[in-house]
Amino acid sequence: MNLHLLLDYDTLKLIWWALLGVLLIGFAILDGFDLGMAMLLPFVARTDTQRRVLLNTVGPVWEGNQVWFILGGGAVFAAWPVLYATAFSGFYFAMLLVLAALIVRPVGFDYRSKVEHKTWRAVWDWTLCIGGLVPSLVFGVAFGNLFEGVPFKFDDFMRMTYTGTLFDLLNPFALLCGVVSVLMLATHGATFLLVKTEGVIAQRARKVATKLPLLLVATLAIASWWGTRLDGYVYEHGTVTKAAGAWWQVYARLPATMVPFMFALGLPMLVAFFARKKHDGLAFILSSLMVASIIANAGLTLFPFLLPSSLAPNASLTIWNASSSHLTLFIMLCAVVIFLPLIGCYTAWVYRVMRGKVTEEHMQEQPGKTIY
């Protein structure tokens, strides 16, 4: 008996679409707070010791957090190889920009404390800040371009032609989405610092965690309103058409998609409220849910599109026409069922072992037990 026939092909496609969302949310929550911490590094921490405190809050876990990014890339490569090839070709320079930033980050972590010189460390601190800002911005810009459509098409031999440039990706709506992403992850990083630090660092992080969510809500509302004005894409019976306001019509067809949208607008306000009331653990949990809601809302609005084409709408990649074979999806699902819980358990164990606050006294009194 062919075991993969136990799940029909369409069900497997839906499962893998949901799994991709889980991996992206996992990456945004876990790696998002250390990207946010890096963006806030020069502003929340003013002295060298304070900046070492921030670096040591994520020091034991930041490399493991990026596993979720690798898992997401691997899932796209195996489940939707056409999407992987098309996206990496179209977003080639944007991907190089993210890759450069992600390469600079570990270099900054490792080299910052090699030389005890103020200028040396300041340069690496700003390098880490930029290394957190650039990926956060580019990821948001990428999502913005998905809503506008990407200028690509295929010929009769399935050879892809991409007519855009890096500057085309940096259009006003996409940049606004990039700002949403930056504000979201900076807020998430601030709530993480509330949990992991104390004293003057926590006070500065608290100011960020109470003010940025308000700006995030305003920016997200503007981006949502703007998105309703865009020409969206509609998938019906294997045909893709472009229509004004199509993204907003998704909420009319599937009212359940309004749930993450309302959470996305409401949760930042709760994050700011509980951060102000010094319920730091709850603020961080709500911040994590906020990140999940914003990403889930984007994914549900785009469904079933993976990469809409503005050049030739019928060339758009969806979960229905861009997936790997039935057997491939089933074998991969079996691997995920085994290994994803193991990764989750290991991640939870690491965070449990590394729980507790990092203080300036810890940096001064136990230098041998710190990382940076």
Convert the pLDDT of each residue in 165-200 to its tens digit: 878 888 999 999 999 999 999 999 999 999 999 889
Q: 174: how many CB neighbours lie within 10 A of its CB?
A: 23
Tell me: the pLDDT tens digits for 200-213?
999 999 999 999 99
**Is-contact 351 64, C-beta < 8 A?**
no
Verdict on whether the full-model pTM lies above 0.75 = yes
Tell me: the pLDDT tens digits for 14-45?
999 999 999 999 999 998 999 999 999 999 99
Residue 123 counted as domain residue: yes
Residue 174 counted as domain residue: yes
Residue 235 counted as domain residue: yes
The two structure tokens encoding residue 181? 């992403």
What whole-number distance in Å separates Cα of residue 128 and Cα of residue 136? 13
Number of domains into which the chain is organized:
1
Residue 99 counted as domain residue: yes
Residue 334 counted as domain residue: no
Domain carrying residue 207: 25-69+89-324+348-369
Per-residue burial over 84-120, b if 16 or more Cβ lie within 10 Å, else e, is bebbeebbeebeebbeebbebbeebbeebbeeeeeee
Residue 228 counted as domain residue: yes
List, for the chain, all residue ranges whose pLDDT scores fall below the cut of 50.
1
**Which of 212, 194, 216, 358 lies closest to 277 in space, CA to CA?**
194
Tell me: the pLDDT tens digits for 121-145?
899 999 999 999 999 999 999 999 9
**Is-contact 229 210, C-beta < 8 A?**
no
Residue 227 counted as domain residue: yes
pLDDT of residue 13: 93
Residue 333 counted as domain residue: no
Strands 152-154 and 317-318, sheet pairing:
unpaired
